[in-house]
Structures are given as structure tokens and as C-alpha cells.
A and B are shown apart, each in its own frame.
Chain A
Amino acid sequence: GQNIDQPTEMTATEGAIVQINCTYQTSGFNGLFWYQQHAGEAPTFLSYNVLDGLEEKGRFSSFLSRSKGYSYLLLKELQMKDSASYLCAVENQGGKLIFGQGTELSVKP
């Protein structure tokens, strides 16, 4: 079967660092995506990992360990506007994405 797990909800404080974990078991693996989705809006692309290791992009970083079936998204210097749902997705054969159910992040002052 195919399974992608991430926490349903997380809460963090403005200015802090938060790590959102994602574990996966899929029949194929071509890469892992993270998307951000604000309420009522389209998901927007954040990061893409193919190889093991850390990819840094400004305040956001994403890590992948293929052998462990594990990824995380790291958000630094949290801002109120970072309150959103964060979606982990594995790219299967043929460019198809399998999504986790998303992590709702609330950033509090």
C-alpha cells in the first residue's frame, strides 16, 4: 500500500522555529514535494527533494532521507503569515503525486 503520514496540527510562536515531519511508504519514489496552502487558496510549491540531505531556501528548509522514508520541513523565524496548511507529497512513477493529509500550522504572537 501507499501511506504518507504527517501530524494533523501544530502550534508555534512567532519568531520561533518549527519542524513538520513527514514519513512515507510508497511503491515508487521519484522525489518529495512540500506545498503551502492558506485557507481558501491554491497550494503553492515550497520545495522539492530528490537526493538525501537538506535543501535550504530562505527561511524554509527541507530534508530528505530516502532510506528512512522520512522528510521534514523546517520553518525559521516564524511569522504570522506562515499560519497555513503544509502538504507533503511523494512523486510516484509517471509524475503522479500522492499527498499526505496536511499539517495545519498555527502561529501565535
Chain B
Amino acid sequence: DVKVTQSSRYLVKRTGEKVFLECVQDMDHENMFWYRQDPGLGLRLIYFSYDVKMKEKGDIPEGYSVSREKKERFSLILESASTNQTSMYLCASSDRGDSDIQYFGAGTRLSVL
């Protein structure tokens, strides 16, 4: 079974803090993705990566950055957290040759106060 693990289920941070959300997958997948999920808006793509050291902006990259130093790990960084970044964050990974099926982690619910 594919396993995508997100380091925290719940996080509470203060406005202006630097926040790191970590995601690790154990299936040697090339592709990794970060989404946020908000009521009424569905999942929206923040950033994605098709290979180590590589990153591409998704639909809503403002206020976020990412790091992919190793194939199995994809980190989402909020340089200076703001209240409008309170959300559920979901990480996903996919294998380039497997019909692009994305496998998701359980999510991190971030509250910025």
C-alpha cells in the first residue's frame, strides 16, 4: 500500500510565524503535490514537483514556497503565516507511469491566530 505521511494532523501558529509542513511518501513516486482544502472551494493546487530539486507553481502559490531535497520528501513553507492561510493542507504523490493516480496524506489542519 502507498503511504503518504504528513508530519502533523493539527497545528496552531501565530500570525507572522514561519511554518513548515512536511510530507513523506514511501513508494518512490516522482510527483508530489501540495493542496489546500477549504469549504465550498474544493482542493486547490499550491505547488507541485516532478523531480528532486524541481518545483512548479500551482494555482495559488502566493504566500507559500516549497522544498524538495530528497525524492521522498516534499515540504511546504509559509514564510510569514497569515490568518487567511488557516486551512486543511493535503499532500499527494503519484507515479509517472501509473495513470497519474494521486495518493493523499491524511492532511494537516492549520490554524493561524
Residues of A with Cβ closer than 8 Å to B? 4, 8, 30-31, 33, 35, 40-45, 48, 87, 89, 91, 94-102
Contact = CB atoms under 8 A, between A and B. Distances in A.
A16 B90 CA distance: 32
**Interface size, B (range):** 20 to 34
A33 B101 contact: yes
Counting from the closest, the 8 A-B pairs by CB-CB distance are: A101-B42, A42-B104, A99-B43, A99-B42, A95-B100, A42-B106, A43-B104, A45-B101
A91 B42 contact: no
Contacts of A42: 4, 90, 104-107
B48 A96 contact: yes
Given A31-B99, A95-B100, A101 B40 contact: yes
A53 B72 CA distance: 36
B48 A45 contact: no
